[in-house]
Amino acid sequence: MKSKQQSLLKPRALAIAASGYAALSLYALFSSRFWTADLLANLAIQFVFVGGIVFGLALWFRARASCAITLLGIAPMMWLLFETPRATLDAEWRGSQEPISLLVFNAYAQNETPEAVLELLRSSGVDVAAVLGMPAENVIAIRDEGVLEDVFAYTDIPSAARGGYPIILSRWPFKQIQDPDDHRRSPLGARGVEIDRPAGSFRLALLHPSSPRNPERWSAGNETLEHDIRVLNSLLRRDSMPLVVLGDFNSTPSGYRSRRLSSATGLQRGKPRWRATGTWPSNLFWPFQVAIDDVFLESSAVLGAWETMGPAGSDHLAVRVEIAFGMKPLTKSDRSVVPLWKRLVLWIDAFFQIA
């Protein structure tokens, strides 16, 4: 009798685990309405891997009902993962324009090693850097002492700026995108600029909706995002100038904010879908990290590289990307000349790359 009860215990435990897993996954579909549901939606990729483990155990113990329930739970998380379209990633791109390298970094205003932030910016080799949460010492050093001007010739830090001010550093001149109702400020939540690149100008928006650490901040951040979406859509309709959106979105690709921004503007998120890495917190590693710092691109842009740097004393990792506008990725026939084994090795390397 005792052995029979023990033999029934594992299938029952699996059934309970699978049912709980499926219930949480289905609840995540309501991420636009509930704070807790969005927290779960932000962890969709982690949930998929957990579901794979539960499904494997159910197969091992031949618990068919648990297998079916687990698959039911995996499905909504997979839908959340694929709802946000991703930018074309192609390291072998081709086209007529020179690529642009960009960096987005939440440096953390209370960073205890501000000199490490300056060194990261200096060594990044990018054309344009967008920095949130810049320590006060660095704001003063860049504005008043000309630190980094040998690398980034242009910035526009106002005299009243203090620690945490969102900073744009660029090799090329730029001007602020002005609010039509108030020319003294940017209409975007953080920053918006037009960069006068010799090969062709482009717009850059820097967003930072508030962290969803509680329901109130989650709602406030969503309201900020809705305002920014209206501005971004007006810029997209204004003319054909390309637009790049950088930021600490406080949302992973599967989170509500990311999906909302993409669906409302048509922009595509930069982070490769199956790249096993995150950007916060910097002192942990995937799957205990989440990718909340990133770039959004128009569909005509191609992403040549996506990598993390840092942390340079911050609780975030920086994200460095290379992009080009109006580029054409290699076609299927072009790729056929690359051996299958080499493509498999490159895919595995990209999957397990943790910067």
Q: Say how far apart CA 30 and CA 104 lie, in whole Å.
A: 30
* DSSP calls for 256-268: HHHHHHHHHH--E
Q: Say how far apart CA 252 and CA 247 lie, in whole Å.
A: 12
pLDDT at residue number 74: 96
Looking at residue 172, the DSSP 8-state letter turns out to be: S
Structural domain spans, the chain: 2-83, 88-349
How remote is the C-alpha of 323 from its chain's centroid?
Answer: 15
Q: What angle do CA 41, 47, 52 make, to 5 degrees?
A: 150
Greatest pairwise CA separation for the chain in angstroms: 82
pLDDT at residue number 336: 42
Contact yes or no for 95/291 (Cβ under 8 A): no
- Cα–Cα distances (Å) from 77 to 7, 254, 258, in that order, read 31, 8, 15
Structure-token match 């579909």, residue found: 29
Per-residue pLDDT in tens (0 to 9) along the chain, 355 residues: 445 444 545 778 889 999 999 999 999 999 999 999 999 999 999 999 999 999 999 888 888 899 999 999 999 999 999 999 998 877 666 545 688 999 999 999 999 999 999 999 999 999 999 999 999 999 999 999 999 999 999 998 988 888 888 999 999 999 988 655 544 455 555 688 999 999 889 999 999 999 999 999 999 999 999 999 988 898 888 888 899 999 999 999 999 999 999 999 999 999 998 888 999 999 999 999 999 999 999 988 889 899 999 899 999 999 999 999 876 544 444 434 445 554 455 455 555 443 3
Q: Say how far apart CA 122 and CA 131 lie, in whole Å.
A: 13
Ramachandran angles phi, psi of 313, nearest 5° = 85, -5
Kindly report the CATH number that applies to the domain delimited by 88-349.
3.60.10.10
**Who contacts 193 (Cβ-Cβ below 8 Å, separation ≥6)?**
168, 174, 175, 176, 177, 203, 204
Q: Say how far apart CA 193 and CA 178 lie, in whole Å.
A: 9
Identify residue 8 by its one-letter amino acid code.
Answer: L
Q: Say how far apart CA 247 and CA 208 lie, in whole Å.
A: 6
Strands (E), 185-341: 191-195, 202-207, 243-248, 268-269, 293-297, 301-309, 318-325
